[in-house]
Every structure is written in structure tokens, then in C-alpha cells.
A and B are shown apart, each in its own frame.
Chain A
């Protein structure tokens, strides 16, 4: 049921964007990851959360 899936993802990112404690550079990375085909892997998520504040320069 795509609409439900989309609704959850939309709400998820809304919550993250409203959260000042959450680094927004990570939000963009998460969006790209969740939009990609295939299953989301824990290691990919770990790598995103471990990125420095504001993301990497290179």
C-alpha cells in the first residue's frame, strides 16, 4: 500500500525537520537512502548518523 508507506515517510521527515537537535544534513542523506530501491540496511543508517555535524566537506 504505497500511500501508507509514503505517509509514514512524509511524517518521519517532518518530525526530523522540526527537531532542532537533529542535524539536517543527515535528513537529506536519509531521504536519499529511503528513496533508493531496495531494503534499507542498518550499516548504511549507522554511517549516516555517524557523519560529522553539517556533513562532510569532501
Chain B
């Protein structure tokens, strides 16, 4: 656990030099867009983790810490860009100084060099997810279930589980394809054996009949039974080469080759046809091909990843997880291309089996031609066989398959031009040979039968092996998915309980029966939320953007609680909960303070009202907040130094400087008028261009407050609550007097405050104006905690008027009659 005491930032991002005293407490940084507040978040994140979240991930191509971490004027001098944090370690009771330079992001300087301190800081550095930016907040809520799963798994550091699942799935797929190919081969071998034996099935009766007929003829003992262990030609002496040609068997083989060649011209191969279609699809869609080529590169890269450096281009990533996440994202984008590639590879594998069958017949023909010394036939068979072997080789690789379109279109077998003629002539030669003697034929029959029987048994063994391998792969994959699902279900159950609880706190008084459900299935995470007890729906279905924003933060907090537990000591929130309204923001402060009392939040916002609300709710104080007024490339952020507005105005007037006091008062009034109009639900003329001014907002806010106090008094009357009635009426009376006083000063207010004619006023002219505004604004503040009053819920029928400490807690609902 750590607490940041102070930060010193130099030449980093948009900051030239800045010191921040965080005082080990939650801290708010506010300022208009482009004022440099996110630079503070980046700086603290960098100091703690060595990386800057906004320079990594989707849409950050071309950005890097080395090039874009230093101030733009110091890009060439990354050594000058550094962040120094004073950190306190409550569990150790020790403090340390952590200095990290952009030039050496992985080598922070830690003083003192205490192993306990280094271990804690190392642990913190492993968690860049301590930073949550607005651009990321909805990624948990509105993304596709598959991406949500990946992103949440990444934040929980369990993406490795998903990678192993994916590897098991790929292995299972490969083994399945191998088993199918082996099955096909076994069928081919069986068919050859059946054909040779001249029987329809491998029943013992049929086999015995075919085999024993020849054995009897040769005077060999007949087989009583036939099993897998039976040697069909047992007892037969080895034939000589001269005797090895079995004319009928040879004719059967040659006939099979002839028929296969004839078949090529009649029936088109479905696998070849499918391959042509897929190759054309890639030819006609250049983007698809590019996507596929990139996918191949990414896949190759993924296999080579071993550390944070890209194996292809040597680009240095913050860590291996970032690099892998980047590559997986690219892989996901080319999913359609990947599926096409998979189909193409499958068809190529099946076609390769057909090529193999043709090669097997050619091998038989080669054997026969060799016995017959038919050199011409032999040469043709060898040439064609080599061509087919080359084709089979090319079918193995995706890139070479793409070059086969012409071959496939004109017929993949590419039967040599004169091969059929030569084959017919060769068959005629064999047929013309004198019939072998019955004895010789029987010998040859048994020898060949035994060889084919062995081939078939070997193929069956291989098939059995591949099937077992496939079964093992499938069992392991299913076991992994089940283990992952069960553990993740338990995790998500815990997260969904925390998430639902946080969301209920955020929506105090509304959605009290809110529940959420996560459902993790293979590689996806479904997420549904209850919508006012009308059932479970995806979060984007009925909930408003503000609610979704709130859900994003709650889910983030729930995940961080689960991930870091007690170590969740620092969180950097960059412009989050912006779509959440004022009332809910107070609840958000309550959520952070009650559920995460030991976490130091550093919150950046462009919304001054939200910054004020954080102070009002006591999440931060004036000392632990900082406002940026503006920014320039030369100066960096300009800090608005305005902790005690009235003291500052008084000080200026004491020096006779009305020209200093008047603009301060005007800026403060503009800010408070806007805040109160928002918090009190003031009725004002709507302006599409958002150009509300002080003259329009302040009267609306104050008249709204008066009306609310009247309602509170009437409500207290209806409930017989005398104390509340007195409080409401007293405040209303104070407001009336303050308004009257301010009305008396309006002529000067208009000139001095609204129209900047302060030059004509002396400090004594201006003091009553200041007092009038001070008294007026005090009517909208809690006398105790100083927070600005607000209505709840924020609607046209509010039910309460409150301050953040609840000293002011006026009921606006009358007792039903």
C-alpha cells in the first residue's frame, strides 16, 4: 500500500515545471479542456508504472513514450523529462522518493534503496490499470461480449488463461483434421484389400473363403479362423522377382488407375472447386488479402513474442501484455479473413488426400512396370508421380495454395498428355501375357493379400492413434474451459455483487433493487443489468448515458477491488463520471469515501462544478485540489490560485485595488451562479448555445431556492415538524433580506461587476457590493460544512433539499391528505 505525498513534474507532456502537494489524500485537478490537467494524471501514472496509458492501445499507432512523453520543446532531450514522487508506505511506516525519467522509464531511482519499498513499488508498477480515463470507461459496458471478456481478462491479468484456451482449441482442431485424414486413408486401404480379395466385406467367413481357396490349391494348411494376427500367406516361400507379378492383381490395379483417370474428366472434385471459389474471393477483394497477409504476420509475430520488444520491428512496448493485447486486437480485426483461410486450408488438406490416393495407385503401376521392365511406362509414372508430390507439397502451405488456381481450374491431376495412351498400351501388354498358372496366381494372390492386409491394419492403427490424440485434445480443451468457466463464474459473481452494491450506492434512492449478471462462456462475457425490476437487459438497452457512465466506473472499482484488494491504494481517474448528474456525483463521492477509505484518488475533471462538488462532499479539500486556469506551450498549465475567495477580495480592497477585486468577484459569481442553477434545478430560459450569463442564472437560482424553502416549510407544516419549518422559514427570510440588500446595490453591481466599470469605484464603494453577494451566497450554503445546497432527486419534482453533511436536510414532500 502506498500514499503519494507530493509530486514534482518537469518537462513532461504539457507541463514545464509543477509541484503538487497531495498530502497523502485524495486530490482533484480541474481546468478547462487543454489546460494540462490530464498531464498530471499521465505524470503520476508514469512515475508509478513507467508508462502512459494514453500512448498505448487502440488508436495510438505512431505514439510512443520516448517521442511523446517529454514536453514538445524537449523531445530531443528525454533526460530532462522526469517525475519525482514522495511516497509514504503505511504498512512499513517508511517514506521514499521515486524518480523516473522518460529516458529510462524502466529504471526508476528509488531512495532509500530499501528492498521492502522496492518490492511494493514493483508490485504497483505491474498495475497500469490504476488509471481509468473517460475514453476507456464504457469499454466494459457497451462492447461486444467477446471483446468485453478479453478486456476484463486483461485488466484482471488473466488473459494468459484465454491464450491457453485458444492454444488448446487450435491443437484440438489440428488433431481433428488429422483424425479425419487418417480415417479416409484407412477406408482407401480397406477398399483396396476388399477389391483384391474379391469380397464385399471383411467378415471372417468371406475372408476365409477367399484365402483358403488359394491355400488349398497350394497345399498349405487352411486357416481355421482369421483374426488381425493371422498371416494370410503363412508357409509360403518368398517368390522370386519373376514370379511376383500376379497378372489378375496387376490388372485390377491398372484398371483402378484407368478408372480414376477417366473419372477425372467426368466428375469435378468438390474440394478443388471450393478452393477455386475461395482463391477468387481473395483475388477480388484486395483488402481481404491484405488483412490475411497481416494476420499471417501477426500470427507469426505472436508465436515469437518473448518480452516487451516486438519480434518483427524491435519497437519497445511498455510490457509483453501490451504487445500481446495489440496483436490480439489486430488478429480479431481479421477474423473473417482468418475463417476463410481456415476453410481454404481444410479443403487443401482433403484434396491432398485425393492426391495421395492417386500417388498410391501410381506406385502400384510403378511396381508392375518395373517387374515388366517397361521403361517408357516407368518414366511416365515417375514424372507424373514427381509432379503430384510437388502438388501435395504446395497444398500444405496457404501461400502456395493461392498460386494453384490455374492448376485447379484445368484439373488438378494434370494427367500427362500421352499417359492414358501409354497406360492403355501397357494394360494390353499385361493382358496379352499368358495366363499364369493357377499355382503361381494363387501364390501371388496370397502375397499381395498379406501386403494389403498389413497396409490396412497399419492404417487402422494410425487412425486409432490419431483418434485417441483427438479425444485427448478434446478432453483437455473441455476440462480447461470448464475449469476456467467455473473459476471465472466465481470471480464474476464476486464482482457482480460488488458492482451491484456500488451502483446502488451511486443511485441512492433509485434503483435500490438493481442487480447485475455476468455470464462467462467460451471466450465471451455477457453482461446484463436489471432495469427497474422489469428484467435483465444489456446495459445499453434502456439505461441512460449517465447511468452507463456510472456503471463503467462501478464495474472498474469492483474489478480493482477484486484484483488488488487491500493494495488498491492509488487510483487515477481522468475525466470520468462526466455524464453523471450533480446528485449522483455526490453519491459517487460517498461511494469512494465509504467503500474505498484507504484508496487515494487523484481525479482530473474539466468541469468546475464537479470540482466544487468534490470539495463540497469533502472528498477533497481546497488544500488537496488544484484548478488550472489556462495553458500555453511556453508556460504549461497556469494554476488558478483562489483558495479563499473572500479573503482574497478583501486583501485586494485593503490595498485599494478594486481593479483586482472586481474580476475575482465576477469570476466567482459566474462560477457559483452556474453551479447553483445546476444543483437547485433553476428555471431559466434554455439556450442551445449554452451561453448562460450571470445576470440570467443568479436570479433564477435564488428565486428557485426561495421557492424550494417555501415548499420545505409547507411540507414541514404538513408533517407537524416545527423544527424543520423554522429552519426553512429562517433561511427563506435570510434570503429575502440578502436579495433586498443586493437589489439596493444593483446599480453598482451592474456597473462594477457586470459591465466591468470598476475603474470608477473606490474600495469603499465596492465593499458593500462584496458583502451583498457574500450574504446572498451564504443563503445557499450549509453554515456548518460550507457545501452548496442541492435538490434530490434532480428532477422537476425534487423530494429533498440537502447539503453534503446533511445538516441541511429539508423534506419537500407534503404529507398525503
Q: Report A's interface with B, CB cutoff 8 A.
A: 1-2, 4-5, 7-9, 11-12, 15-16, 19, 21-23, 26, 30, 34, 38-43, 45-46, 49-53
Contacts and interface: CB of A to CB of B under 8 A. Distances in A.
A8 B484 contact: yes
7 contacts: A4-B161, A8-B487, A34-B164, A39-B305, A40-B163, A42-B168, A49-B469
B473 A15 contact: no
Given A1-B156, A7-B487, A39-B305, A16 B475 contact: yes
A2 B127 CA distance: 13
Contact of B479 (A16, A41, A43): A16
B440 interface: no
A17 to B, nearest CB: 10
B497 interface: no
A49 to B, nearest CB: 4
Contacts of A50: 175, 178, 465-466, 469
Contacts of B174: 42, 46
Given A19-B475, A23-B472, A49-B472, A40 B167 contact: yes
B160 A39 contact: yes
Nearest to B478: A15
Contact of A45 (B171, B483, B491): B171
A2 B157 CA distance: 8
A30 B477 CA distance: 12
A33 to B, nearest CB: 10
Among B303, B473, B476, B484, the most chain A Cβ lie within 10 Å of the Cβ of: B476
B487 A1 contact: no
B312 to A, nearest CB: 16
A19 B480 CA distance: 13
B261 to A, nearest CB: 35
A12 to B, nearest CB: 4
B363 to A, nearest CB: 26
Given A15-B479, A50-B465, A45 B168 contact: yes
Contacts of A2: 157
B303 A41 contact: yes
A41 B167 contact: yes
Contact of A30 (B178, B465, B476): B476
Contact of A21 (B471, B483, B486): B471
A42 B175 CA distance: 11
A15 B478 CA distance: 10
A8 B490 CA distance: 11
Nearest to A37: B306
A25 to B, nearest CB: 10
Contacts of B281: none
Nearest to B320: A39
Nearest to A38: B306
B249 interface: no
Contacts, number: 92
A15 B482 contact: yes
Given A16-B476, A46-B174, A49-B175, A39 B482 contact: no
Given A5-B161, A41-B303, A42-B174, 12 more contacts: A4-B158, A4-B487, A5-B160, A8-B484, A12-B476, A15-B482, A34-B164, A41-B167, A42-B168, A43-B171, A50-B178, A50-B466
B563 interface: yes
Given A22-B475, A38-B306, A45 B156 contact: no
A16 B156 CA distance: 26
Given A12-B483, A15-B482, A39 B163 contact: yes
Among B305, B473, B563, the most chain A Cβ lie within 10 Å of the Cβ of: B473
A1 B601 CA distance: 22
Nearest to B472: A49
A45 B484 CA distance: 18
A43 B491 CA distance: 31
Contacts of A46: 171, 174-175, 469, 473
Contacts of B161: 4-5, 8
Contacts of A19: 475, 479
A1 B305 contact: no
Nearest first, the 8 A-B pairs at minimum CB distance are: A42-B170, A11-B483, A45-B171, A15-B479, A50-B469, A12-B483, A49-B472, A49-B473
Contacts of A41: 167, 303
Contacts of A8: 161, 480, 483-484, 487
A38 to B, nearest CB: 6
Contacts of A16: 475-476, 479
A21 to B, nearest CB: 7
Contact of A15 (B158, B468, B483, B487): B483
A1 B495 CA distance: 14
Contacts of A12: 476, 479-480, 483
B332 to A, nearest CB: 17
Nearest to B486: A11
A53 B465 CA distance: 9
A14 B306 CA distance: 30
A9 B156 CA distance: 16
Among A7, A21, A45, the most chain B Cβ lie within 10 Å of the Cβ of: A45
Contact of A49 (B171, B306, B480): B171
Contacts of A22: 472, 475-476
Contacts of A34: 164
A42 B167 CA distance: 4
Contacts of B170: 42, 45
Contacts of A26: 472, 476
Interface string B602-644: 0000000000000000000000000000000000000000000
A14 to B, nearest CB: 8
B594 to A, nearest CB: 25
Nearest to B490: A7
A38 B118 CA distance: 25
A5 B484 CA distance: 9
Interface in B155-187: 156-158, 160-161, 163-164, 167-168, 170-171, 174-175, 178
Contact of B171 (A9, A38, A42): A42
A54 B480 CA distance: 22
Contacts of A42: 167-168, 170-171, 174
A4 B483 contact: no
Among B160, B174, B487, B491, the most chain A Cβ lie within 10 Å of the Cβ of: B487
Contacts of B471: 21
Contacts of B480: 8, 12
B563 A1 contact: yes
A40 B487 contact: no
